[in-house]
Every structure is written in structure tokens, then in C-alpha cells.
């Protein structure tokens, strides 16, 4: 079962804290999104293995844009 | 004017005036954002 | 010859000999403000000049606030004339992005609710024996906005300017400390966990963003003309920003003008803190009431958020109500952090920013409405 992690608001990805293949639990820190001059942590909505990371640090994202997928 | 009259008047008219003014502003802005919607590719958002 | 030498030496000793007990106390208070600003990072841009101005005015015989004194000159030029807070407001308007507010106009109302502390504290101050105009100056601390508090108190209760300004700026820095417990206490577990998404929030067109400051100025000015200087200056700054065609003026307003005026304003406010004016029980009461005002703002904001939650069928998280105060963008960040503390999947930041921008507008309108009501009543 694939779970997508989407950007909750528009901003810039500052850091991706995981890589493909990592095992994560629900509520683990996945990435740091800078929005409205504030650093926001993106947490895992569910546990699993990180399948694919679709964005990179420094990239601007919009609300709903897929950041990574977890299986 | 005695303090009680002063206090109650400022409280009621002041709070009421603030909320009504801002409510009117919100209605006007809701109307304007509908009349002038964001166009795809518009600069400066 | 000996007389001349003695007189010369007495000129050097006079300062220390003329020390009144209030002077070292106020110098210590000035140093305390410097400590808060420099070491603790409490609004240093204001507290450092205020603290230093306080020290300067409490050194005897220097007469910096006397006729012709340099602080008196600055004070008369910009505080009595209301120019300084208004010039800072142009800068604030130029720095603020109101699009989160425009994307969700319902947050205007949270910005209104976040100002109720002003009026409630005014009533409390009256009950505690303050005169009507003094109570107005104490209540305006609840606007949680430095220039607004300075604008009102310098016109209608200038003897309270020092206490009101110190309270306003100090408490703004404490927002991350006292808001979370109030937010926790007033919301249920279910309410804390309400997730608000940003899907469906559309960007705002440039036309709407340009019309906003015009609408606010004209409508706000018509309803509350006594506050037009406040409304007009913040909206001028915002119009310059959104128009995009006067970036030199916008940059100057945000940077050079705001910085120079902040320095002069801080010094002037500090210069009003002479010991005999500041050191009395009333000052402590003002500091306490100022704290109460901002707490009441948070309470009213969160309670209004709960009302919006109820009316929206549970879609609005009441926590965002705490961002309806004018401490921008600090209160919005507090709401984002608290919301995520209760539910890691909750990103309230955009909604909280809307409420916070609403609070900025709300504080200006509340002050404008209050002054216009007072004018109508013949009090001012």
C-alpha cells in the first residue's frame, strides 16, 4: 500500500532527512519545508519503507505536490 | 460623563464597531477576489 | 585662583551630588531593558534604544529632555507630532504580505476578536481608578502593536507613554510564552486535533492585492476618520509593495526609513522614563494590566475560534484564533508549533498567518474605531 507525502503548503524544501530504502515509522521527521519564513517539519503520515523521493533540497513546491512515497 | 457610561459605551460600540467594520471589509474583499480572480501564470504571488 | 579651581571641580562633582534616589533605580531599569534586548533577544530594535534613552534621561543635570536638549528635540519632532509611529507603519505595511488573509476572508473576524482585550482592559482600568483617557492608553497595550500604542498614548496620555511602550514591546516578545497555556486550557482534545488543509486555497490576484489597501483606507477612513493616519500609512506601505512599481520607495520604507525612525522613536520613548514620572505604583499596575490585555486578546481570539469551529461544522481549528492578535508573525508561528505539537499531521501555518494578518488590520481598525467613538462622545 503506497502512501504519498504531499507538501502541506507552498514553500521551499530545505532538507530531505531520509533516502530511498529507509524504514520510517509514523510521525518520523521526513523533510524540512520553509514556508512563510518559518521552518516546518514534515512528518510521516504512516510507517513503511521510503520508496521514491520526488523533490530535492532547494526546490520550490506547491500545496499538494508529492514529496515522496512510502510503501 | 461618568465612568460606567463611558466604559460600557466604549466596550459595546468599540468592540461592535471593530467587528462590524472588519466583517464589512471581509465581504468587500470576498467580492473583489471573486471579480478579479487569480489568472494562471500571473506574476507576483 | 583657588576659587576658580574649586568651582571647576564642583562642576565635575555636581552630577553625582544631584542624584535623586529615583535616578539609580531608573538607570538600573534601563540596564534591565538593555539586558532583555541584548541578552534575551526581546524586541532588541526597540528595547535597546528605549533602555539607553532611559539611562540618559536619568543622569542628573545633563538635561537631555530639557528645553533644547537633544532628546527633547527628537521627541518634539516625531513623538508629539505623531510622525514616528506613522512612518514606522509605512514600513510595516511594506513588509507585510496580506494574501493569507485575502485567501480566507473569514480570518478578518479572528483579527477583530483578537482586539477585544483592548476594550475589556479599558473597562478594567476604569474600575481600578484610572481616568478615562489614561484607561484608553492602558487598554491600547492590548493592540499588541508598538506604533499604535505609541500613537494613542502620546496623544491622549503622554505621561504614560514610557510605561505603555515598555509594556507593549516586552509582552510582544513573551507571546510564545503565555499563549500556549491559554490555548491548551481553552480547547478540547478533539478541537486541538482538527486538521485544516490548504487544498482549495487559491492564490489572490494582483488586482485584488492592490485594491485591498485602497478599500481599507477609504472604507476604514470613512467609518473611523480619527484613525485614518494609522490606517492610511500602513496601507500606503502595502500598496507600494503590491503595486511593484515603486520598489525603491518600498525598500526605503522597509529599511532606511524604518530603521532610522525606530532608533529615534526608541530613544524618545526611553527619554520619557524619568524617575519621578515612571516610579510610582501606577506604572506597575499599567504593566500588569498590559499583560492582562494581551492575555484577554488571546482568550477572546480562541473563544471566537471555537465559535467559528461550531458554525463551520468542525472545520476550523480554534487554535488559530490565538493568532488573531497583532504580534505578526510571531503569533502565527506559535499556533503552527502548538498545532503540530497536538497533531503532527496538522499544518495550521497558512490559516494562522491569515488570522495574524487579520490581527494586524484588526488592531489598527480597533484603535481607529475607539478614537472615533471617543471623538463622537466628546471625550477627545
CA angle C99, B31, C207 (to 5 degrees): 50
Contacts of A25 in chain C (CB under 8 A): none
Secondary structure E strands in chain A: 3-6, 11-16, 23-24, 29-35, 38-43, 48-53, 60-61, 66-70
Query: To the nearest whole number, what is the mean pLDDT of chain C?
Result: 94
pLDDT of residue B1: 83
pLDDT of residue C201: 84
Q: Is residue C14 situated within a structural domain? A: no
The secondary element (H helix, E strand) that includes residue C283 is: helix C281-311
Judged by DSSP in three states, B27 sits in: helix
Nearest CA in chain B to C205: B38
Mean pLDDT computed over C196-221? 92
**Contact between C215 and B28 using a beta-carbon 8 Å cutoff:** yes
Q: Is residue C4 situated within a structural domain? A: no
Quickly state the pLDDT bin for B44 (edges 50, 70, 90).
very low
CATH assignment of A3-70, given 3.90.1010.10, 3.30.590.10, 2.40.50.100, 1.10.1060.10? 2.40.50.100
Judged by DSSP in three states, C138 sits in: helix
Q: What 8-state DSSP symbol labels residue A38? A: E
Strand order of the β-sheet with A66-70 is A3-6, A66-70, A48-53, A23-24
ipTM here: 0.90
C249: Cβ contacts below 8 Å, ≥ 6 apart: C240
Strand order of the β-sheet with A29-35 is A38-43, A29-35, A11-16, A60-61
User: pLDDT tens for residues C269-293?
Assistant: 999 999 988 998 999 999 999 999 9
| Burial class, C311, CB count within 10 angstroms (exposed 0-12 / middle 13-18 / buried 19+) | exposed
Mean pLDDT computed over A46-71? 91
**Contact between C205 and B37 using a beta-carbon 8 Å cutoff:** yes
The Cα A30–Cα C139 span in angstroms is: 45
Q: What 8-state DSSP symbol labels residue C187? A: S
Q: How far off is chain C from A2, nearest CA to CA, in Å?
A: 18
For chain B, first and last CA: distance in Å? 51
Nearest CA in chain A to C195: A8
Q: Give the mutation candidate from A3, A9, A43 for the C interface (greatest C CB count, under 10 A).
A: A9
Mean pLDDT computed over C226-236? 96
Q: Is residue C41 situated within a structural domain? A: yes
Q: How far off is chain A from C347, nearest CA to CA, in Å?
A: 7
pLDDT of residue B39: 84
Which among A27, A38, A43 is the nearest to C349, CB-wise?
A: A38
**Contact between B25 and C219 using a beta-carbon 8 Å cutoff:** yes
Q: Which domain holds residue C328?
A: 23-58+68-377
B28 near C CB under 8 A = yes
Quickly state the pLDDT bin for C17 (edges 50, 70, 90).
confident
**Contact between A35 and C349 using a beta-carbon 8 Å cutoff:** yes
Secondary structure E strands in C212-305: none
Q: Is residue C17 situated within a structural domain? A: no
C188: left (phi over 0), alpha (psi -120 to 50) or beta: beta
pLDDT at C51 over 90: yes
**How many domains, chain C?**
1
pLDDT of residue B43: 52
Judged by DSSP in three states, C34 sits in: helix
The Cα C31–Cα B4 span in angstroms is: 40
CB pairs < 8 Å spanning B and C: 127
Amino acid at each position: 500500500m503506497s502512501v504519498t507525502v504531499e507538501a502541506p503548503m507552498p514553500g521551499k524544501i530545505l532538507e530531505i532527512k531520509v533516502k530511498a530504502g529507509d524504514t520510517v515509522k509514523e510521525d518520523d521527521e521526513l523533510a524540512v519545508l520553509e514556508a512563510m519564513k518559518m521552518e516546518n517539519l514534515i512528518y510521516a503520515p504512516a510507517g513503511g519503507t521510503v520508496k521514491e523521493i520526488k523533490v530535492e533540497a532547494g526546490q520550490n513546491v506547491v500545496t499538494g505536490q508529492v514529496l515522496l512515497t512510502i510503501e | 460623563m461618568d465612568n460606567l457610561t463611558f466604559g460600557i459605551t466604549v466596550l459595546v460600540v468599540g468592540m461592535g464597531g471593530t467587528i462590524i467594520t472588519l466583517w464589512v471589509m471581509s465581504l468587500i474583499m470576498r467580492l473583489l477576489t471573486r471579480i478579479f480572480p487569480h489568472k494562471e501564470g500571473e506574476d507576483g504571488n | 585662583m583657588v576659587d576658580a579651581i574649586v568651582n571647576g571641580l564642583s562642576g565635575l562633582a555636581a552630577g553625582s551630588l544631584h542624584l535623586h534616589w529615583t535616578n539609580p533605580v531608573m538607570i538600573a531599569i534601563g540596564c534591565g531593558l538593555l539586558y532583555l534586548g541584548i541578552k534575551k533577544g526581546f524586541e532588541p530594535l526597540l528595547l535597546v534604544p528605549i533602555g539607553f534613552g532611559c539611562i540618559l534621561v536619568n543622569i542628573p543635570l545633563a538635561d537631555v529632555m530639557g528645553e533644547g536638549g537633544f532628546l527633547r528635540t527628537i521627541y518634539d519632532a516625531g513623538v508629539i507630532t505623531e510622525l514616528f509611529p506613522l512612518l514606522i507603519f509605512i514600513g510595516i505595511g511594506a513588509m507585510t504580505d496580506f494574501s493569507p488573509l485575502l485567501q480566507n476572508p473569514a480570518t478578518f473576524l479572528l483579527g477583530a476578536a483578537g482586539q477585544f482585550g483592548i476594550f475589556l482592559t479599558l473597562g478594567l482600568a476604569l474600575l481600578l481608578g484610572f481616568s478615562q483617557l489614561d484607561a484608553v492608553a492602558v487598554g491600547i497595550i492590548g493592540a499588541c502593536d508598538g506604533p499604535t500604542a505609541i500613537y494613542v498614548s502620546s496623544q491622549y496620555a503622554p505621561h504614560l507613554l514610557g510605561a505603555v511602550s515598555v509594556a507593549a514591546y516586552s509582552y510582544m516578545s513573551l507571546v510564545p510564552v503565555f499563549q500556549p497555556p491559554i490555548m491548551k486550557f481553552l480547547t478540547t482534545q478533539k478541537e486541538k486535533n482538527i486538521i485544516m488543509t490548504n487544498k482549495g486555497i487559491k492564490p489572490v490576484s494582483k488586482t485584488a492585492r492592490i485594491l485591498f489597501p485602497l478599500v481599507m483606507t477609504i472604507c476604514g477612513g470613512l467609518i473611523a476618520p480619527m484613525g485614518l493616519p494609522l490606517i492610511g500609512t500602513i496601507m500606503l506601505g502595502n500598496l507600494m509593495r503590491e503595486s511593484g512599481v515603486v520598489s525603491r520607495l518600498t525598500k526605503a520604507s522597509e529599511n532606511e526609513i524604518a530603521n532610522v525612525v525606530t532608533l529615534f522613536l526608541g530613544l524618545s520613548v526611553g527619554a520619557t522614563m524619568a524617575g519621578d514620572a515612571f516610579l510610582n505604583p501606577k506604572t506597575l499596575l499599567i504593566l500588569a494590566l498590559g499583560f492582562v490585555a494581551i492575555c484577554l486578546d488571546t482568550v477572546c481570539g480562541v473563544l471566537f475560534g471555537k465559535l467559528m469551529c461550531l458554525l463551520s461544522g468542525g472545520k476550523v481549528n480554534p487554535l488559530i484564533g490565538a493568532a488573531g492578535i497583532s504580534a505578526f508573525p510571531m503569533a502565527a508561528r506559535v499556533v503552527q508549533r502548538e498545532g503540530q505539537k497536538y497533531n503532527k499531521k496538522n499544518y495550521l501555518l497558512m490559516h494562522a498567518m491569515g488570522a495574524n494578518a487579520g490581527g494586524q488590520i484588526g488592531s489598527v481598525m480597533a484603535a481607529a474605531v475607539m478614537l472615533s467613538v471617543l471623538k463622537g462622545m466628546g471625550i477627545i
